[in-house]
Amino acid sequence: MDRGKGQLKLGMFLRPAGHHLVAWRHPQSHADAGVNFRSFVEVARIAERGLFDMLFSADSATASSVFDENGLRRMHYVAWIEPFTLMASLAAVTTHIGLVCTASTTFEEPFSLARRFASLDLVSGGRAGWNLVTSGNHTAAFNFSRDEHMAKHDRYLRAREFAEVVTGLWDSWEDDAFIRDRESGIFFDPAKMHTLGHRGEHFKVMGPLNVARSPQGRPVLVQAGASDDGKELAAETAEVVFAASPTIEEGRAFYADVKGRMAKYGRDPDDLKVMPGFYVTVAPTQAEAQAKRAALQDLIHPEVGLALLVQRTGLDLSGYDVDGPLPDVDPEHAISSRATLLSDMARREGLTIRQLYTRIAGGRGHYDICGTPHYIADVMEEWFRTGAADGFNIMPPILPAGLEDFVDLVVPELQRRGLHRTCYEGTTLREHLGLRRPENIHARARKAAQ
């Protein structure tokens, strides 16, 4: 596949102090970033200066799936500002960049979620996106009055119906439903208000939603699962997929797989943007970049390295030699597709437990790149031109310094090659991503009947 001309998409993957496992220990990061709103504002404004398409925030409904106190006490990603609250606040201090955050279909209700994200879309002027997850961490279930986590296949069945209900609610009102005619006293046209009346296996939702449509029609739907169930759900419902592809070959395979599934749902492959994570360490010279990387790696304590692996794989590693091989991960009982990905990586490259946690301490299974702006732009261009990605979610090792490095060094090189915008040409997230504004399904049906 040769894409020829075109521009790639850029997301900024938020994480409090940075993406490296021990980013909070680095003197150029903000150790208190998880509770420091001004730090997030700084990062958002740097990303907007770099003309990024969107901010992307992951989330978890549990502090950690690791119960070992020695490992847990060293991890910085255990408590931080709830992402929806964060994005709503960032909407007031940014003007163009998209605002995407995570909410779980396993522990949420469709109506309340649809209402919140539709409201964020209005508040931000059409810049909101919902990252749909089914929640892989089993400990999250214990925070929602459950004795055990729902089985993976069942979570995806619920997620599919959940997405159907939410998108249906987002079409409760047609674009011109609200007349607001003071003279006649008519506020809205009842013919353009639509009750959902959904009754399914998991949900019964009457509707309509009590939030109007936004400038971009409805929030962008983002999905991050890489299992077979996840890819099928993405092909059916998602408009952006946040992928984890540690090699370009795996990136191409994932890209072709997901987009190849879309035709059976009547969807055009260009209506879905695949954006793998890119963990980037950049400096003017290769030696400087390697030195930056080494400075962080030297801060990893074995306890936190093991805690990361337990969290990501669900394996009980107590009693295992850290300089021995990783035990096998059963794909059928893996907590997420990422667990299988890491197991495959360790087996393929012959990595010990220590080598694996050192290897993923930054990228956590995403593509890990370290080098000069020219080299990094070369790699990004190859992924983009050869059908491995439509763009990337950038994962700086430390924040805000790592993002500033990318914006000041890599973005100009991408712009020089015509791969990145030189100004925002639109105002909504859909316009940034080149996604069509969805027509209200009821308005479309009425037109078709005429």
Q: CA distances (Å), 315 to each of 154, 299, 319, 360, in order?
A: 22, 24, 12, 16
Higher pLDDT residue, 218 or 68?
A: 218
> Nearest-CA neighbor of 71 among 280, 359, 323, 322?
322
Q: CA distances (Å), 253 to each of 229, 243, 260, 261, in order?
A: 16, 11, 10, 12
160 is a domain residue: no
Identify the domain boundary among 339, 360, 381.
360
Tens of pLDDT, residue by residue over 9-55, are 999 999 999 999 899 999 999 999 999 999 999 999 999 999 999 99
Six-digit token string for 22: 């021990």
Tens of pLDDT, residue by residue over 112-168, are 999 999 999 999 999 999 999 998 777 788 887 887 888 888 999 999 999 999 999
Mean pLDDT of 269-277: 97
pTM for this model (two decimals): 0.90
106 is a domain residue: yes
Mean pLDDT of 269-286: 97
Identify the domain boundary among 360, 384, 409.
360
158 is a domain residue: no
Residues 16 and 111 reside in one and the same domain: yes
Q: CA distances (Å), 131 to each of 55, 67, 104, 446, in order?
A: 11, 27, 8, 31
**Helical H runs in 73-211?**
83-90, 110-123, 152-169
144 is a domain residue: yes
Mean pLDDT of 78-94: 94
Q: How many domains does the chain have?
A: 2
pLDDT band at 357 (very low <50, low <70, confident <90, very high): confident
| Measured torsion, CA atoms of residues 326, 332, 334, 339, in degrees rounded to the nearest 10 | 60
> What pLDDT is attached to residue 263?
96
> What pLDDT is attached to residue 269?
96
Residues 259 and 383 reside in one and the same domain: yes
pLDDT of 80 above 70: yes
Mean pLDDT of the chain: 91
Say how far apart CA 66 and CA 64 lie, in whole Å.
Answer: 5
CB of 8 closer than 8 Å to CB of 14: no
Residues 221 and 353 reside in one and the same domain: no
Beta strand pairing call for 220-223 and 128-133: parallel
Tens of pLDDT, residue by residue over 200-250, are 999 999 999 999 999 999 999 999 878 888 899 999 999 999 999 999 999
Mean pLDDT of 274-288: 97
Identify the domain boundary among 360, 376, 409.
360
Residues 381 and 415 reside in one and the same domain: yes
Q: Which domain holds residue 308?
A: 301-360
> What pLDDT is attached to residue 331?
63
203 is a domain residue: no
159 is a domain residue: no
CATH number at residue 38: 3.20.20.30
Residues 258 and 381 reside in one and the same domain: yes
> What pLDDT is attached to residue 175?
96
Six-digit token string for 393: 């979610």
